[in-house]
Structure 1
Amino acid sequence: MPHLALYTFGVLKSPLAGPAPLTREFYDIGEAVYREFSQHPGYLARAEAADGDRGALFEADWGAWGEFAVPAWYGKGRTVETTALATTLSLWADLRPAFDAVYTGLHRDALNRRYDWFERTGHANYVFWWVSDDVIPTWQDGVSRLEHLHDHGSAPHAFTFHHSFAPDGSPVKGPIE
């Protein structure tokens, strides 16, 4: 049975390593959000750096998730001191469990505060696509799907909750809500 891949990407208002209180607050709650997600029904896995250091995104060993990549329009730093982004790559059993996890609990609270932490870029901040159950999506897969979504809108290749597709490519009737 296919799995649902989810890539998220946001540009923070200040670097993760910086002293800005709001950005630090965002960084500090991240682990609690990840713990909550990992216990959610339908959650399968997420990309984690082998050494566990979330600050060294570009230099980290991501194993089967591939070399770390970001969209072409990201123009901020790429060192531990200058990186100003938040991104995830995860696998889910289906759309409904992913929707429920994103829009409930700690993550929902964080979404309500996203404009405190993130710049408004004019780009989509997440994208879904289906993968075979034996495939681990890569960071580059996520980047290319997000860029495709931005350039072409939702399609079976890259879609959102509100314009989603089944594994066979057929549109899901009505938005997932």
Structure 2
Amino acid sequence: MTEPAYELAQVNLGRLKAPLDSPQLKDFVDQLDPVNADADGAEGFVWRLQGEAGDDATDVPVFGDSWLIINMSVWRDTDALKAYMYQGRHREMLARRREWFERVQEAMVALWWVPAGHRPTVAEAESRVLHLRTHGPTPYAFTLRTSFPPQGATPLLGEVPEGLGCGAL
């Protein structure tokens, strides 16, 4: 079997309702390690962002906003991501997310295809989220509800094919 040319990157941002060390977020924080372990062992999981302070990325700055936390990972494909998201502990945490996170109207989740082996940066994720907020789902940044195949993958920033200007993205 040949190795895939692309893998699926995802970023999920959350605006906290309280500090991570508050009693209000205790259940959320207590579940981070088990949920991350579930992801690490999930079929189709490739990689996830981890911070300096430990196994999760709650200390990784995003958009210069100390109330935002980031979850970013890479998966084999959308089916693998969906299978993980909607089962077990992660599903239970999704059901409780309004206890811990503000409801935000703008896009806080984005998906995009990356060349196999590429590990996205926070700056890349921020760019994809901003693009999705401005343009809606496109091959450059999309959602599970409106996804695109990897064959339509848009190059990473700085890797625009010759003859295509920024307006093509």
TM-score range (shorter-chain normalised) is 0.7 to 0.9
Q: In structure 2, what is the equivalent of residue 81 of structure 1?
A: none
Q: Map Cα deviations across residues 38-81 of structure 1 (whole Å, 9 max, x no partner).
A: 111000011112452758724xxxxxxxxx4x236x4xx3xxxx
Partners in 1 of 2:37 and 2:120 — Cα distance? 21
- The answer to whether structure 1 residue 85 and structure 2 residue 89 are counterparts is no
Pick the aligned partner of 1:15 from 16, 19, 24. Answer: 19
Q: List structure 1 segments (4+ residues) > 3 angstroms apart after TM superposition.
A: 53-56
Alignment of 1:1-177 (within 5 A): 1-17=5-21, 19=22, 21-52=23-54, 54=56, 57-58=59-60, 68=61, 70-71=62-63, 74=65, 77=66, 84-169=67-152
Q: In 1, Cα distance between the equivalents of 2:108 and 2:26?
A: 20
Distance 1:164 1:55, change over 3 A: closer
Encode CA deviations 1:77-98: one digit per residue, 9 max, x unaligned: 3xxxxxx333111110011000
In structure 2, give the amino acid aligned to 1:139. V
The CA deviation at 1:30 is: 0.9
Count of equivalent residues: 149
Q: TM-score, normalised by structure 1?
A: 0.77
Question: How many percent identity over aligned positions?
Answer: 34
CA drift at 1:27: 1.2
Q: Aligned partners of 1:90, 1:55: CA distance in 2, in Å?
A: 11
Q: Provide structure 1 residue ranges, at least 5 long, that are not aligned to the other structure.
A: 59-67, 78-83, 171-177
Q: How high is the TM-score relative to the length of structure 2? A: 0.81
Unaligned runs of 5+ in 2: 154-169
State the distance in 2 between where 1:56 and 1:158 align: 23
RMSD over aligned Cα atoms: 1.9
Q: Distance in 2 between matches of 1:104 and 1:148?
A: 29
Contact 2:57 2:71 in 1 (8 A): no
Paired residue secondary structure (1:122): coil
CA contact (8 A) 1:7 1:128 kept: yes
User: Quick check: 1:16–1:55 contact (8 Å CA) kept in 2?
Assistant: no
What SS class does the counterpart of residue 168 from structure 1 fall into? helix
